[in-house]
Each structure stands twice: as C-alpha cells, then as structure tokens.
C-alpha cells in the first residue's frame, strides 16, 4: 500500500491535508490496533521524512514501545520521564524545539534534536502517546500539533 501513497510537497498544512485522508483510508474498517498504528507511522514517515515516528502504549503503568518507523528506540519509559513520560503525566501535547534543554530528556538517539509528543486520551486517561523526532531544531509547531491531534483522535482503541 505504501507505493499507493500520494506524497505531496508544499506547505506543511498542504502535506497534512494530503496525507490525512490517506491515513483514514488505510485505517478505516481495520479493527487491528497494531496494524493501524503501524500504517499511521509508515504514512507519516513517508510524507514528512522525520527522523523517528512511533507510538508508546501504556502498559502496567509505563510506556512500552509500539509500532514505529526509524532507528531502534527506548523500549520502556516511566511516567514523568523525558518528553514522552511528561506528555503522559500532563495529558497534553508537548512541543520541544531543543531536546537538550528539556529537563530529564531521554536520549534514545543523540541525532534527535526536536520533538513533539501527542497523548492519546480515552475516557479521561492517557492510553498511549505519538512521538515524533527530528534531527532539525525547532521543526515542530502549532500546525503539527493541530493535525497530529486530529490524526490520533481518529484511532480506535
């Protein structure tokens, strides 16, 4: 299916508006959560070329690595640790322009420079996070926040 993705160039907003209906088509009607998370990460990585994109799922009171695209990653993250654990604890999207300045940052890769983490909240509880890393500083902004939050709102857990 990846060959069928229509990768666009243009503004960040135009790229999101091109990939979002494709993500919906990939996941709509598919009941398997892992398959859907895998296709979402693949589509986002193909469209944007980010360094790393993936999900961490809350299991036994820690974040456990789920489907991702990019180099190997940290397997488990405690609540409140690093950007992912902080997003989980605060139940809010965090945009970090320079991860070296984030207190307690967990360096899964020294190549990661900026990051956005979006919590997936169901029944007032964070059940997973979407984590995206870039090798470029200050890559993520409110446009990413808006569209990534929209994408994860459509995931059926």
> Can you give the residue ranges of every domain in the chain?
2-153
CATH 3.30.450.40 fits 2-153, yes or no: yes
Helix axes 142-153, 12-27, angle to 10 degrees: 10
> What tens digit of pLDDT does each residue of 31-65 get?
999 999 999 999 999 999 999 999 999 999 999 99
User: Could you read off the pLDDT of 77-115 as tens digits, one per residue?
Assistant: 999 999 999 999 999 999 999 999 998 778 777 789 999
Q: Which residues pair with 116 in a beta bridge?
A: 95, 132
Q: From CA 148, how far away is CA 107, in angstroms rounded?
A: 22
Provide the greatest CA pair distance for the chain. 42
Under DSSP, the state recorded for 112 is: -
H or E stretch covering 52: strand 52-59
| Residue 77 burial (CB count, 10 A) | 23
């Amino acid at each position: 299916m990846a060959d069928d993705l229509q990768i666009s160039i243009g503004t960040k907003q135009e790229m999101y508006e091109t990939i979002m209906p494709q993500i919906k088509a990939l996941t709509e009607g598919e009941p398997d959560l892992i398959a859907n998370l895998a296709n979402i990460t693949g589509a986002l990585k193909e469209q944007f070329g980010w360094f790393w994109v993936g999900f961490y799922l809350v299991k036994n009171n820690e974040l456990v690595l789920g489907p991702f695209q990019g180099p190997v990653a940290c397997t488990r993250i405690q609540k409140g640790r690093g950007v992912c654990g902080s997003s989980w604890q605060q139940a809010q999207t965090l945009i970090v322009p320079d991860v070296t300045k984030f207190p307690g940052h967990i360096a899964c890769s020294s190549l990661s420079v900026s990051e956005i983490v979006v919590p997936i909240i169901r029944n007032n509880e964070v059940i997973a996070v979407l984590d995206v890393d870039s090798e470029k500083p200050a890559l993520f902004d409110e446009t990413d926040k808006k569209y990534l939050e929209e994408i994860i709102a459509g995931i059926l857990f």
